[in-house]
Amino acid sequence: MLPRPRSARFDAGRIVGFALTCTDGDRAYNSSTGVAPAHRRGGLARRLVDAVIASVPARRYVLEVIETNAPAVALYRAAGFGLARRHGHGARLLAAAAARAGAPLHVLNLDERAAGIAAFLDATGATRTVCQLEMVRELP
């Protein structure tokens, strides 16, 4: 059996929370944090983020949160995070990614409710070419 990572939590062998993080130089980037609905509001996300921060060799830990997700914003503010928006970082990242790829970037799976992200992409000159539907099949 492989050791379980500090950035994930399990309940009866099922993953119920995770914090995916990568490092680049002296920065660590949280690319995703998630907690199963039945395990929310108990401090699990905070413990996961704290565990990752304690284990990464970085001077700065960066993450993004949907601005209308009040519980997540409150969590990260309580954990000592501050806002770092409107400094052009996102536009520079997109430009660098496109330059490195040598081709236009394609963003998939943009939630229609993510108005802030959509506005940012519109401001950077992105063109919407495809809309995606979410489909669900109930299983027995």
Residue numbers of the domain that contains 16:
8-84
pLDDT of residue 12: 86
pLDDT of residue 135: 60
Task: Find, among 117, 130, 65, 128, the residue nearest to 91 by Cα.
Answer: 117
Instruction: Please report whether residue 61 resides in a domain.
Output: yes
pLDDT of residue 128: 73
CATH number at residue 67: 3.40.630.30
pLDDT of residue 39: 92
pLDDT of residue 2: 40
Instruction: Please report whether residue 109 resides in a domain.
Output: no
pLDDT of residue 42: 92
Instruction: Please report whether residue 14 resides in a domain.
Output: yes
Instruction: Please report whether residue 122 resides in a domain.
Output: no
Instruction: Please report whether residue 111 resides in a domain.
Output: no
Evaluated on CA atoms 128, 117, 111, 16, the torsion sign reads positive
pLDDT of residue 3: 43
The total number of structural domains that make up the chain: 1
pTM of this prediction exceeds 0.85: no
pLDDT of residue 132: 61
What is the rounded CA–CA span in Å between residue 81 and residue 97?
26
pLDDT of residue 139: 52
Give CA separation, 12 vs 15, 43, 105, 118, in Å: 8, 19, 40, 39
Per-run averaged pLDDT (10 residues), the chain, 140 residues: 61 89 86 90 91 87 83 89 75 82 77 77 76 62
